[in-house]
Amino acid sequence: MVYLPSTPWTWCFLVIAFVESVIVLGFEGFVFATFQHNIRSDGNSYSQTRTIPTYLTLFIFAHIFLIGLVYDALRLKNTIQVIGLCVFNGALLIYAAIQMDQIQEANDFLLDKKVAREDIWSKIQPFLIAIPCVLGLCTVLMSIVAWKLYDEFAWTIYKHISADLRMKRRYLTFQIFVALLKFDFFFFLGFTIQFLVIVLESNDIEFQLTIVVIPLTIIFLLTAAWATRREITWLMTIVVIVFHGSMAYFLFKLVRMYTDKARKDQYMPARRSLTSFAVITLLLITITIVNAITCMLNFNKGLKPHITKRKFANEEEKHGMTELSPAAHHPVPSRMTID
């Protein structure tokens, strides 16, 4: 069984994330059902009809991702990831606000084309307003709890790394890099899902190429984390080069979104949402590149033993080391505190 620290603040953080997810997904489900029921059978050819299913899919994925990362951060006592989750929740709030305007535009467009049975805006608007309100409240609560968790986890890191300030900085850089890779994955996939569903057609060659890129991205991000943990300089150099290539890819997509006149109507239903995802992803990639280079500069300086996993002979030993018992004060710890 995977160990989770059983302190009040850790459970509080997990409960807030879970309750938020249940409420938001319930509201999104109602909006989706109402919207889909309102569309006539002859209206499915318009890209505007795909906006709501896409938003619902993204929110489902976002909250599964959120719960998974919350559990992961608490299990590994990763302070950086806990703070990142508060920022991530704030980004979902912005996305929910953008969603509201784009759904209203889609509703008006479908009414104008006479493929919607009635004007449902008055029915779904209260729920679309409530979603960012719930996200905002939970972001504030999560931030308060994160501040409490910071004090708890700081002592854990002190016992694990010792009082060496330089080693603490190297460990912090590693923590930030691994957390960034996880958020890079979400925003890349979020952008790609919207691009595939709303903009591209299934018979388009770009559709097929984009599908292929998704598993390659997952493999790449796992490789980046593994190369950093093992301190493989040549592989990390390739990782940094590929990240620069991904920046060029998102810049190209962002520019084309506003200059491609042939696909203007296809981009319009999700252009604001795609823009926000592209900009956030570019920002994250930039920070990731800087952090990756900093991690490379820290190679062969004594951090590797602190972050390399070891197998245990029995669960009792594993539990003790996870708790950072006296055995964990050995110069080469056998249990890392974050992935």
For 7-51, write each residue's pLDDT tens digit. Answer: 788 889 999 999 999 999 999 889 888 888 888 766 566 666 777
Same domain? For 106 and 50 the reply is yes
- Which segment of 62-76, 77-91, 150-164, 290-304 scores lowest on mean pLDDT? 150-164
Q: What pLDDT does residue 334 have?
A: 39
Judge if pTM exceeds 0.75.
Answer: yes
Last residue of a domain, one of 116, 141, 161: 161
Q: Are residues 62 and 166 in the same domain?
A: no
| Mean pLDDT, rounded, for 146-170 | 72
Give the domain-ending residue among 110, 132, 161.
161
Token pair for residue 189? 């996939």
In a domain, 327, yes or no: no
Please indicate, yes or no, whether residues 139 and 211 belong to a single structural domain of this protein.
Answer: no
pLDDT at position 107, please? Answer: 82
| Secondary structure class of 252 (helix, strand, coil) | helix
Give 268 or 254, the one with higher predicted confidence: 254
Quick check: is 322 in a domain? no
Closest CA to 257 of 190, 191, 185: 191
Q: Does residue 112 belong to any structural domain of this protein? A: yes
- Domain limits for position 48: 1-161
Q: Verify that 106 and 238 share a domain, yes or no.
A: no
- Write down the mean pLDDT value for the chain: 80
Q: Compute the average pLDDT of residues 200-208.
A: 70
**Residue 90 in tokens:** 């704030």
Task: Give the integer Cα–Cα distance in Å for 210 and 336.
Answer: 36
Same domain membership, residue 151 and residue 45: yes
6-10, 207-211, 254-258, 316-320: segment of lowest average pLDDT: 316-320
Instruction: Tell me which residue of 322, 336, 137 sits closest to 230, measured CA to CA.
Output: 336
Q: Tokens in use for 125?
A: 């608007």
**DSSP-based three-state secondary structure for 116:** strand
Do residue 77 and residue 200 come from a single domain? no
In the DSSP assignment, the letter for residue 196 is I
Give the whole-angstrom CA distance, residue 53 versus residue 44: 12
Q: How many domains does the chain have?
A: 2
Domain-embedded: residue 34: yes
Residue 190 lies in a domain: yes
Residue 140 lies in a domain: yes
Note whether 28 and 142 are same-domain residues.
yes
Please give the pLDDT value at position 47.
Answer: 66
Residue 237: partners with Cβ closer than 8 Å, 6 or more residues away: 296
- 118 with 265, same domain? no
CA end-to-end span of the chain: 17
- Return the DSSP state at 231: T
Within this chain, do residues 67 and 185 fall inside the same structural domain, yes or no? no
Cα separation, 217 vs 24, whole angstroms: 28
- Name the residue with higher pLDDT: 283 or 166: 283
Residue 259 lies in a domain: yes
- The residues with which 116 forms a beta bridge, in sequence order, are 39
Residue ending a domain, among 128, 161, 194, is 161
Same domain? 16 vs 148: yes
Is the same domain home to 140 and 174? no
Same domain, 104 and 245: no
